[in-house]
Each structure stands twice: as C-alpha cells, then as structure tokens.
Amino acid sequence: MIDGSLQTIDGRPALRFERRMAHSAQRVWRAVTEPAEMAQWFVAPVAWTPALGETFEGGGQRGEITALEEPTLLRWTWGQERYAFELSPEGDGCRLVFTHIFDERYGPAAQHAAGWETYFDRLDAHLAGGFLDEEEAHGSIGELHERYAARFGQDPAPGRRMIASLAFRDLTLEEDPAGGPRLRLERRLRHPVERVWRALDDAGELAHWFPADAPMEVVERDEPHLLVASWFGDELRFELRPEGAGCRLVFTHAFDDRDTAARTAAGWDRCFARLEALLAEQPMDAATALELWPDVHERYAERFGVDPEIGRRAYAEHPAT
C-alpha cells in the first residue's frame, strides 16, 4: 500500500500523505515535533523548539515555523519548500496528514514520495517502541519508486538513477567460510515470504528479472524459505524470513575468481532492480536495467579494489537487447 497523492497547491507541486495511526494525537504530536524524537525517524535533525515564528538553520537552508496549534497543526518552511503535519483524533488513535510542497529541481515527485514512505516506516517503528535505521528502511525504496512513478505518470529514469547511486544498498564482498569469494545482499522487502518466493521459484516470474543466459539448477528447496541452486557451477542461495508484514531476503553467490567480483555484483545489482520493479507490478526489461550498469560497475570496482577493465570489456561485448 502507498499513501501519497500528487496535488497542486498555490501553483506548485505538492505531496500529501494521509494515514490512520494507532496512537493518540498527543503521542504522535511529540514524535513529529520534539527534536529528540524526530532524530529517531525523520530525514534530518531539526533545530527547533518548536515555537511560532521561530527560525532555524539546517542543511544550508533557513527555516521558519509558520503555524503552530498544539497538538493538531505544525507548518514550516525550509528554503523554498513548505511542510505541514496535521493531526486529528480518531477513535483510540488519530489521523495524520503530512504535506510537502517541493521544488522539482531537487527530484521528481515519485522520488520524493518513495523517500517519505521510508521515513514513515521509521516513524511507525519508533511509535511501536522500536528503531528502524535509515539504510534498512530504504530496502524497499526501489519498489516504492516504481509504484509512485506509475501512479503519477512520470518517467522513472531520474529516480532509478538516484536509487542506483545509493551505495549502502550495494551487495557486499565476503570470504566464503568454505573458501573463495562470496557476494551477499540483505534487503528488507514489503511483501510476505510467499509473494517473494513466487518471484524466485516461478519460471514465468523469473523471466522478468533473473539473468537470461542460463537457468538455475535447483539443488535444495524448502518452500517458501530456502532455495539453493547451481548456476554456471557457482552456488546461489536465497533465504527468506518473515519480518512484520513483509520479509527479509538474504542472497549469496559463491564464486571462484575474485577479479570478476565487480562485474558480477553489478549484474546482480541490476537484476535486483528488476525484481523490485516486478514486485511493484511494473516489470523492467533487461535493456533498461543495464543502462545504469556502467555507473554501478565502476563503484563496485573501486569498492572491491579490482581491475575495472574486466567488467568494461564484458559490457562492451554484451549484445544489445
């Protein structure tokens, strides 16, 4: 489920999120106004009290509190952008409305909306007494962005490029306990294990994201939690664990030649971008996913300390699709 809608306010694009919260307005008010609480979930630290008319600095921009009615309304500016939290009691909880009037020079609406969804996930975790760090929350940003780009009728390319640049979402390179290098990806997804399992196990779904050059040969299968396969003689391992309303995916690829690590990691990076698009019901073709392969590959080559020419040659020889 995605909550955001794209509107026009005073001739400018605006995002509006409305959601039912299972906490009182007073409790949510503290979470969305007190700096110590906001530090647990918001996009950046806030240096306010807050008080009506108060000004503050952050991220090189000046902000001002323009409306304050505790515990129902907070409006503020930050640079040229405008924001508001509105709360209204509803049963034993409350309704939260968040509005962001934004500047399209800093990214399209779909990109902003996907980002706010990840921060609202962090708010939910905070109000439930837990903590969800920023990197974990961004595990599902690829899928969220695909959904919002489709909802708003926007070109997804700019947001895809931004998401592909988030190095903290990268695969990591490890030493396999059995010997040899191993690539690893751990990602929080917004779907139950049964849905993600279908994407791993169903041939029709695999065709939308898995490498087309050779099929997996399954050697171990424990539905819907574990799939181990042989692929070009290497071991691929997919593990799924329930986590809240979604699940956690852990993927590893054990291989022999460390020199090919960046090439292989970049390939999987693009495959998992296609998997996220599939889960968003917005399938992405291989050619589109590979448009960002060179940029992603260069980052992996630098991170892993391997010769980038191996991957560059492979990409140059890759047939156009």
Average pLDDT over residues 142-148: 97
pLDDT of residue 106: 75
Label residue 253 by pLDDT band (50, 70, 90).
very high
CA distances from 187 to 131, 153, 258 (A): 16, 27, 23
Average pLDDT over residues 125-132: 97
The answer to whether the CB of 121 falls within 8 A of the CB of 132 is: yes
Model pTM? 0.93
Domains within the chain, CATH numbers bracketed: 4-161 (3.30.530.20), 170-317 (3.30.530.20)
- What is the C-alpha to C-alpha distance for residues 262 and 269, in angstroms, rounded to an integer? 10
Structural contact between residues 96 and 28, judged by C-beta atoms closer than 8 angstroms: yes
CB atoms within 10 A of CB 208: 17
Are 109 and 154 spatial neighbours (Cβ–Cβ below 8 Å)? Answer: yes
Phi, psi of 124 (to 5 degrees): -60, -45
pLDDT tens digits, 166-210: 999 999 999 877 788 999 999 999 999 999 999 999 999 999 999
Which pLDDT belongs to residue 319?
A: 67
- Residue 2 amino acid letter: I
Cβ atoms of 13 and 24 closer than 8 Å: no
pLDDT at 63 > cutoff 90: yes
